[in-house]
A = this chain, B = another copy of it.
Amino acid sequence: MTSRYNLDQLFTAYAAKDRLALSRLITMIENYSAEYELLIERLHGFLHNTPRIGITGPPGVGKSTLVNEIAQELRKEEKTVGVIAIDPSSPFTGGALLGDRIRMNRISLDPGVYIRSLATRGSLGGLALATDDVADLMDGFGCDLILIETVGVGQVELDIVKTADTTMVVFSPESGDSIQAMKAGLMEIGDIFILNKSDREGADRAYIEIETTLMHKPDGNWKPPVIKTSVLTREGLTELNQAISKHQEFLFTEDRIKVKQQARRQCKIKQMIETSILNEYWNEERQSQLAELSLQDISVVQAAKILMSLN
């Protein structure tokens, strides 16, 4: 009863835009607390379906710097921003150099920006689910836009960013090999492509490489722009923000954003059911049967069949 009472209090504070309440609710999601279901149920009434922008790309291309720039631009328009960093190398998560962290602090002290990092540990499905829930919490809190930063190499990380409404893929001139390498995965999912650190050597070549790779992408209703950006020379930053606005407009025509949101919801309901079924299945008895069967000299298929026939 105590915890239920706490959840009520937390939601009252959350509704009153108390950042600490938001922070505590996020922690409850992260820890998959006992009140998880109650929390999600309560949260539903708060949702506005705020657009989500995923930012991905190889380590070191300056994803966090761009997140910072986009957030600052949105702040000029008095919009509030939620940032979720799932990149272990992100300055937001404390993974990167001190200089970066200090730079990021500028926006992290802004009361109109809410930043939260999520660790890439624990179960796979778990992380994607938590990211989505945290985005919902920021949505319900009143954020006008949610930026999700993930390092774009792993499968889970790509899956997370794929659920965003707008996906930005970032490269740098140094990621020549990576452009080749990640062609398959990243080129398919990008709505906006960025060549960051465009002041550096090799930028033109890398730009052409991205454009060439995209030529093979089948034509759709949206043609992904490729934008050169540099935080040093300020090249392309205005263009980047315009591209984001343009994609948002695109999303809101023909209810495209609704389709994306429903796909997210469906995926979430499915995962919840599966987690519940499997948790119930793996009771102590079955767990010890599993341990025992794995020691026997039988094939894994046979072991699985035996375990399933036992109960």
In angstroms, how far is the closest chain B Cβ from the Cβ of A59? 5
Copies of this protein, total: 2
Q: With a 10 A CB-CB cut-off, give which of A88, A159, A273, A307 has the most chain B CB atoms.
A: A273
Residue contact B88 to A301, C-beta cutoff 8 Å: no
Contact with B along A282-301 (1 / 0, CB 8 A): 10000000110111001111
In angstroms, how far is the closest chain B Cβ from the Cβ of A287? 9
Dominant SS at the A interface?
helix
Residue contact B277 to A120, C-beta cutoff 8 Å: no
Residue contact B159 to A124, C-beta cutoff 8 Å: yes
Residue contact B153 to A153, C-beta cutoff 8 Å: yes
**Known contacts A124-B155, A124-B156, A151-B153: does B304 contact A181 (CB below 8 Å)?**
no
Residue contact B307 to A273, C-beta cutoff 8 Å: yes
A-B contact pairs, 22 of them (CB 8 A): A37-B301, A40-B299, A41-B301, A44-B298, A44-B300, A58-B59, A59-B153, A59-B178, A60-B178, A88-B183, A88-B184, A89-B178, A89-B182, A95-B183, A120-B185, A153-B154, A265-B300, A265-B303, A266-B294, A269-B300, A274-B281, A278-B278
Chain A interfacial positions (CB closer than 8 Å to B): 37, 40-41, 43-44, 58-60, 87-89, 95-97, 119-120, 124-125, 127, 151, 153-159, 177-178, 180-185, 262, 265-266, 268-270, 272-274, 276-278, 281-282, 290-291, 293-295, 298-304, 307-308
